C-alpha cells in the first residue's frame, strides 16, 4: 500500500468514528483516557503453568513467550523434573507480563493438598494445568483446590502433534478421529469437575489446534487491561491472532494519543504536531514487538528458518522494516500536514463520546498516525505469516 493511499484510507477514518463503541470513555473521555493509558502501561499479568512432572510445562512456558527450548532466556527443560521451585520468566517484549513455571505436582516434594500454599497461589491471575497422555488424580485434586480459592484454572492437553502422528500412522485413524478420542478420554478423567473445557495444543504448532480458542477463553475472564496484555504478549501463530492483536492495539491507540497530547506537551522542532514524542515512539515500538517484527524477534526467526535477516526484512512493505526510530516517527508526523489534521478533527467531532472540539488538533493527527502504523504492521504480519510460517513448522518438525 503506497504512502499516499494509506493517508487517504477511508477505513482508518471509519475506525475513528467507531470509537464511540469503546464504553470506558463514556463519562469523562479525557481523564478516563489518561487513566486508561497509565493502567495499560503498568498493568501486570501473572500466568501460572502447572501440572505433573514431565508433561511439558517448561516447553509450554517457552512457546507462549515465542521462544524455543534452546533459545537464550528459555525455561530449562528435560526428561526429569527440572523445576524444583516456582520460577518466574519475564516476557521478552512485555515487561509486566510474567510466566511462572511451577514445580511438578505429585512429586515427593509437592503433594497436591499442600501444593497451592507452597507455590503462593494468590500471586497468579490464573492457572493453566497441563497434562499429557491423560489427566490424573493429582490434576483433579489441584483443580478442586484452586476452585476453592475462587481462582480460574484451565486444562491443556499437550503434545497433541505427537499423538496425531502416532495414531494416524499406526492405526490408520484420521486426525479428526484422534482428536475426538483424546477429548473423550479427557472428559472421562475430569468428569468429577463437571467436564471442564480441555484445550488440545501442540507447542510446536500453536496455531493449529485449540490455542486460539484457549486465548479467547483466557481473555474473556480477565479485566480489559489484563486482556490487552495477554493478547499483545502471546506470539503470532495464526491470522486470527494477528487480527486480535490489531484490534487490541487500535483500542489502546486512543488513550495513548491523548496521553501524548496533554496541554504540557512540548512542540517538536520541524514537526507539525505538539505531542510527547517518546510516548508515540514507545507505543509504535511495542506494537511492532507484539507482531513479532522487532529486531530481536527477526533475529530469532532468522536463526530458526536459516534465512538472512535482510531477506526477512525485505518482506516488510511498511516503513518499519528497520524498526521504530526517530526518523521514521518524525517522518510520519510531518507527512499528513494541517489539512489532514483538520479533516480528522471534523470526523471526530461527530463521535459523541470523544467531544474533541476543545482538544488540540495534534490529538486528532496523532491518533490517526498510530492507527496508520498499526495498519501497516498488521499487513506486514499477515505477509510474514503467509510466507514464513511454513518454514517455521518445517524446522520445528525436523528438530
Domains of the chain, first to last? 3-41+236-398 (no CATH), 43-225 (3.40.50.300)
In the chain the first and final C-alpha atoms are separated, in Å, by: 37
Q: What average pLDDT does range 61-75 have in this prediction?
A: 87
The number of beta carbons lying within 10 Å of the beta carbon of residue 95 is 11
Provide DSSP, 365-388: HHHHHHHHHHHHHHHHHHHHHHHH
pLDDT above 70: residue 117: yes
Cα separation, 262 vs 141, whole angstroms: 52
Q: What are phi and psi of 260, to 5 degrees?
A: -75, -20
pLDDT > 90: what percent of the chain?
29
Nearest Cα to 315, choosing from 378, 381, 365? 381
Higher pLDDT, 287 or 335: 287
- Count of CA atoms in the C-beta half-sphere (13 A) of 68: 16
Would you place residue 118 in the very low, low, confident or very high pLDDT band (cuts 50, 70, 90)? confident
Would you place residue 3 in the very low, low, confident or very high pLDDT band (cuts 50, 70, 90)? very low
Q: Per residue in 125-166, pLDDT tens?
A: 999 999 988 888 888 888 988 888 888 999 999 999 988 888
Dihedral of CA atoms 310, 313, 318, 319 in degrees, nearest 10, equals -50
pTM: 0.83
pLDDT at 152: 93
pLDDT above 70: residue 366: yes
Average pLDDT of the chain to the nearest whole number: 80
Higher pLDDT, 113 or 183: 183
Among the listed ranges 70-74, 77-81, 214-218, 350-354, which one has the minimum average pLDDT value? 350-354
Amino acid at each position: 500500500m503506497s504512502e499516499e493511499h494509506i493517508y487517504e484510507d477511508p477505513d482508518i477514518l471509519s475506525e475513528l468514528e467507531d470509537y464511540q463503541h469503546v464504553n470506558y470513555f463514556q463519562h469523562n473521555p479525557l481523564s478516563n483516557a489518561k487513566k486508561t493509558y497509565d493502567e495499560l502501561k503498568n498493568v501486570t499479568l501473572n500466568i501460572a503453568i502447572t501440572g505433573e512432572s514431565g508433561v511439558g510445562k517448561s516447553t509450554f512456558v517457552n512457546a507462549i513467550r515465542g521462544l524455543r527450548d534452546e533459545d537464550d532466556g528459555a525455561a530449562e527443560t528435560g526428561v526429569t523434573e527440572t523445576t524444583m521451585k516456582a520460577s518466574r520468566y519475564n516476557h521478552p517484549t512485555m515487561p509486566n507480563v510474567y510466566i511462572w513455571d511451577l514445580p511438578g505436582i505429585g512429586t515427593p516434594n509437592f503433594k497436591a493438598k499442600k501444593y497451592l500454599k507452597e507455590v503462593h497461589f494468590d500471586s497468579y491471575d490464573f492457572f493453566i494445568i497441563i497434562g499429557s497422555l491423560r489427566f490424573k488424580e493429582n490434576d483433579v485434586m489441584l483443580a478442586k483446590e484452586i476452585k476453592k480459592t475462587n481462582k480460574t484454572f484451565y486444562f491443556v492437553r499437550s503434545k497433541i502433534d505427537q499423538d496425531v502422528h502416532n495414531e494416524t500412522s499406526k492405526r490408520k485413524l484420521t486426525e479428526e478421529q484422534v482428536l475426538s478420542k483424546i477429548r473423550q478420554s479427557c472428559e472421562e478423567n475430569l468428569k468429577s469437575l463437571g467436564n471442564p473445557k480441555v484445550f488440545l495444543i501442540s507447542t510446536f504448532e500453536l496455531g493449529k489446534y485449540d490455542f486460539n480458542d484457549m486465548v479467547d477463553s483466557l481473555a474473556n475472564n480477565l479485566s480489559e487491561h489484563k486482556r490487552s496484555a495477554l493478547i499483545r504478549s502471546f506470539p503470532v501463530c495464526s491470522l486470527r491472532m494477528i487480527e486480535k492483536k490489531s484490534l487490541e492495539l487500535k483500542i489502546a491507540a486512543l488513550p495513548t494519543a491523548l496521553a501524548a497530547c496533554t496541554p504540557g506537551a512540548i512542540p517538536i522542532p520541524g514537526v507539525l504536531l505538539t505531542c510527547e514524542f517518546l510516548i508515540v515512539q514507545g507505543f509504535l515500538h511495542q506494537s511492532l514487538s507484539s507482531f513479532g517484527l522487532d529486531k530481536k524477534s527477526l533475529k530469532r526467526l532468522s536463526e530458526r528458518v536459516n534465512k538472512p535477516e535482510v531477506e526477512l526484512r525485505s518482506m516488510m512493505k511498511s516503513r518499519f522494516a528497520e524498526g521504530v526510530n526517530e526518523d521514521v516517527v518524525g517522518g510520519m508526523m510531518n507527512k499528513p500536514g494541517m489539512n489532514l489534521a483538520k479533516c480528522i478533527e471534523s470526523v471526530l467531532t461527530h463521535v459523541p463520546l470523544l467531544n474533541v472540539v476543545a482538544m488540540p488538533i495534534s490529538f486528532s493527527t496523532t491518533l490517526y498516525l498510530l492507527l496508520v502504523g498499526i495498519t501497516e504492521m498488521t499487513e506486514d504480519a499477515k505477509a510474514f505469516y503467509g510466507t514464513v510460517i511454513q518454514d517455521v513448522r518445517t524446522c520445528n518438525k525436523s528438530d
